[in-house]
Structure 1
Amino acid sequence: MQPRILIIGTGDTKADELVFMRQKVREAGGAPIMLDVSVLGDPPYAPEHDKHAVAAAADTTIQAIIDSGDENSAMTLMARGASHLAKELYERDEIDGVIALGGTMGTDLALDVALALPLGVPKFVVSTIAYSHLIPPERIATDLMMILWAGGLYGLNSTCKAVLSQACGAVVGAARVGVRPSRERPVVAISSLGKSCLNYMVALKPELERRGYEVVIFHTTGMGGRALEAIAAQRGFAAVMDFSLQELANHLADSVVTSGADRLENAGRAGVPQIVAPGAIDMVDFPTWQPVPERFSDRPYHAHNRLLASVTSDGEARRGIARAIGAKLEKAEAAAAFILPAGGIQEWDQEGEPLHEPEALSAFVDEMRRAVPANVEFHEIPDHINSPAFVEKALSIFDEWVAQGVVPLGATEERATA
């Protein structure tokens, strides 16, 4: 296989780098296809897809883009065209992977292109702001790969050549050996944290697999929830068991460990049935290597490792979280159910554990009873979220939805291989 790699960049300002990348893609065994997103100038090479094709894909012209106002509006329009064009090329089976190069402007465009392509299509961005908090979670495609464009401000040098060559080899290799997601069985998504905090998935996974479903579990430490939301928005799940909502609580507390403002919204918006529970909403995460935020300095503290630490929110903050959950569930356009485990919502909130705060938990439970909207089934159990009773309740709701046709029937071995 000779992977066809779409190389995206502004050829009028980064021609040397892009030509070098074209060479390295060829040397790695790929077939380079150049897509130019220049606005004012032209590259010194003939791209397979020029800036006029990009503008046309955005239903406009280069001159109109130049006249649009400023560099921000111009690159936003070019991003729209590049995204549409890349998606069309993929759907016509003309590309197998994408690599884009840029500073903040090029990265902004590249993120839109990556989001336009489905999970399993290799997407590599060489960026001067890789891993930066300038990039919001909702702009990051589920399987995006990034590398820091070290030494990449102006012209080729040995440092940036090392980076660019690695990136080109990586995207060609990914396109050659990557495995696209299978849909032989209906997919059920489950959100959770590490097994030491939330462990219901240990029992749920084999039970759902026995019923004929593929189970995909997302680790809700920021980007895990982002991936769940992105795939749900594309209707990639038969159902969602969203039982770890800590990222929502993090976002409300301005933590960097967030998956974006639309957490807990995309499944309902896309018409995907969802069973929801408030796992770990009492914790707020922050980097262990930073001081405890002053407003949480008197709260119970737990250091998970040298990267991630948590404090608890007080009762009043938990009431606000309950109302936010209710407001998001009210937007659901498909079947939704909420399980309220009144006995506790994460492993360390139990008696004798460091985050045990019964009064704050009681405040949340009280507010949550009022916050669940009328369009959502409400199920309260007296047990802890890590108890067998919680798993039994989740499965009973799920099984009832299957019987009603709300969730598609799982694939038996015969149906899965037919």
Structure 2
Amino acid sequence: MGQSGKTIILCCTMDTKSCEALYLKEQVEAFGHEVRIIDMGMKKPSPPGVFITQAQVAGLYYEQIVSSNIRSEAAAYMIKGLKSIVRQLYADGQLDGIMAIGGSGGTTMASAAMHELPLGVPKIVVTTMASGNTLPYVQGEDVLLLNPVVDIQNLNFLTEYILRQAAAVMNGMICCRPLERGKKKAIAITCFGVTTPCVDRCAGLLQEEGYEVLIFHARGSSGGKIMEKMIAEGHFCAVLDVTTTELADEVAGGIYSVGPRRLREAPAHGIPYIVVPGALEMINLGSEDTLQPAQKARTLYYHSPSSVKMRANGAEMKELGEIFIQRLQHSRPGMTKVIIPARGFSSVDMPGKVFSDPDANQIFINEVKYKMPSNVPVMIQDSHVNDRAFADVLVRELLRMMPKTQY
């Protein structure tokens, strides 16, 4: 291994793709790195030369895996073991980058383990899944999928070329300057098209104050979910959560729900956190042909051919208020604040627009205003979310909270 060589973990099913894995190993090691193979296979015992065998990955579940006739059940056990091993290797300084080759099963297992690693650790999967729906594998994170065009079932002129490419890409990524926060302190902001005027104004003001601003499109895995992970990894000194529409999807079955982690990381880590019900009245659905009859009977907004929005009703707005309280109530005093624009939550939630429903919004406002614990102040502003004055208030209040932190 060369002086600048790194340790690359290669995950693969050695019972079906050993020749291809060994070829990729050879190509990566030609750049001076060390490649260690983790066997995810479930059909045959691991061959010699494997760094971590399938039995080690399976651990206590080995007998259940080899005897199971249900592939998904066996894979779930393997994923648990693989996640644990990958986390430990990284913690021990034995993982600088990670690669995998596989079909749908191998890609599912390997990508699940990759999500255990921080942003910035090079992650590559060579898979035909790259040419289809990649959301189950990428999940909004920095996982690179390379499409081999043909299945990785043997070595031929095309698969060898793709594997050489993958090795070269990994070498380039591993030799790149690592991800690191710059001298400027960073602030995260969530955005949607219907809250963009507010976000643009806030971002400009914060940049004038010397902060670096990262804007997350609040569309699920590549929005709120990855932002929460980056908060947990310590990338931000504060968060301005202008657009919380993903919670509406959690309540009413929309497509951008990210689950119970949403709203939790900033309070857990004690950084300044301002939360706004931006686009909270908006439940994000798919194209019109995917709507259920009950959804078609609701108030709808056709944002684009592939995106129909549904107006949250009073009961749903009440439940959203309850979620705000449940997830923010344990915040450290002075570190979290809810600021509500009483005149509307999005560009289609204002007088004359399709989602205008002041009564439904008021149900949310009353729930939060009167039930939120005193450690989380609630400010009601007589303005619309996209009013310039509202953005000014958000930035002013966030800056007031900043000196109370370690940043």
TM-score with structure 1 setting the length: 0.81
Tell me, yes or no, if the aligned pair for 2:199 and 2:242 is still in contact at 8 Å.
no
Counterpart residue number, 2:71: none
Is residue 17 of structure 1 aligned with residue 13 of structure 2? no
SS in 1 for 2:390: helix
Q: Which amino acid is the alignment partner of residue 117 of structure 2?
A: L
Counterpart residue number, 1:216: 214
Deviations 1:291-343 (A, max 9, x none): 33322212332233333221212222112112112211124356110001111
How do residues 62-101 of structure 1 correspond to structure 2 at under 5 angstroms?
64-67=60-63, 71-72=74-75, 74-88=77-91, 91=93, 95=96, 97-101=97-101
C-alpha deviation, 1:245, in angstroms: 0.5
How do residues 135-214 of structure 1 correspond to structure 2 at under 5 angstroms?
135=136, 140=139, 142-147=141-146, 152=151, 154-156=153-155, 164=163, 167-177=166-176, 180-194=179-193, 196-214=194-212
C-alpha deviation, 1:367, in angstroms: 2.8
C-alpha deviation, 1:216, in angstroms: 1.0
Q: Which amino acid is the alignment partner of residue 123 of structure 1?
A: K
Counterpart residue number, 1:287: 286
Deviations 1:251-272 (A, max 9, x none): 2222222223321112222333
Deviations 1:216-237 (A, max 9, x none): 1111011211111111122221
TM-score with structure 2 setting the length: 0.83
Q: Which amino acid is the alignment partner of residue 269 of structure 1?
A: A
Counterpart residue number, 1:412: none
Percent of counterpart pairs with the same letter?
24
Counterpart residue number, 2:9: 6
Counterpart residue number, 2:306: 307
Q: Distance in 2 between matches of 1:215 and 1:9?
A: 38
C-alpha deviation, 1:380, in angstroms: 0.8
Deviations 1:49-83 (A, max 9, x none): 3328x94xx8xxx7645246663464145314431
- For structure 1, the 5+ residue unaligned runs are 409-418
Counterpart residue number, 2:125: 125
CA separation of 1:352 and 1:160: change in aligned 2, threshold 3 A: farther
Q: Distance in 2 between matches of 1:300 and 1:3?
A: 56
Tell me, yes or no, if the aligned pair for 1:111 and 1:141 is still in contact at 8 Å.
no
Is residue 387 of structure 1 aligned with residue 387 of structure 2? yes
C-alpha deviation, 1:164, in angstroms: 4.7
Tell me, yes or no, if the aligned pair for 2:302 and 2:309 is still in contact at 8 Å.
yes
Tell me, yes or no, if the aligned pair for 1:107 and 1:127 is still in contact at 8 Å.
yes
How do residues 318-357 of structure 1 correspond to structure 2 at under 5 angstroms?
318-333=317-332, 335-357=335-357
CA separation of 1:83 and 1:109: change in aligned 2, threshold 3 A: farther
Q: Which amino acid is the alignment partner of residue 11 of structure 1?
A: M
SS in 1 for 2:248: helix
SS in 2 for 1:393: helix
Tell me, yes or no, if the aligned pair for 2:152 and 2:159 is still in contact at 8 Å.
no
Q: Distance in 1 between matches of 2:251 and 2:161?
A: 41
C-alpha deviation, 1:189, in angstroms: 0.8
Q: Distance in 2 between matches of 1:104 and 1:270?
A: 36
Q: Which amino acid is the alignment partner of residue 214 of structure 2?
A: V
Q: Which amino acid is the alignment partner of residue 135 of structure 1?
A: P
Counterpart residue number, 1:413: none
User: Which has the larger displacement, 379-388 or 31-40?
Assistant: 31-40
Q: Which amino acid is the alignment partner of residue 262 of structure 2?
A: R
Q: Distance in 1 between matches of 2:60 and 2:363?
A: 56
SS in 1 for 2:86: helix
C-alpha deviation, 1:155, in angstroms: 4.5
Q: Which amino acid is the alignment partner of residue 252 of structure 2?
A: A
- For structure 2, the 5+ residue unaligned runs are 69-73
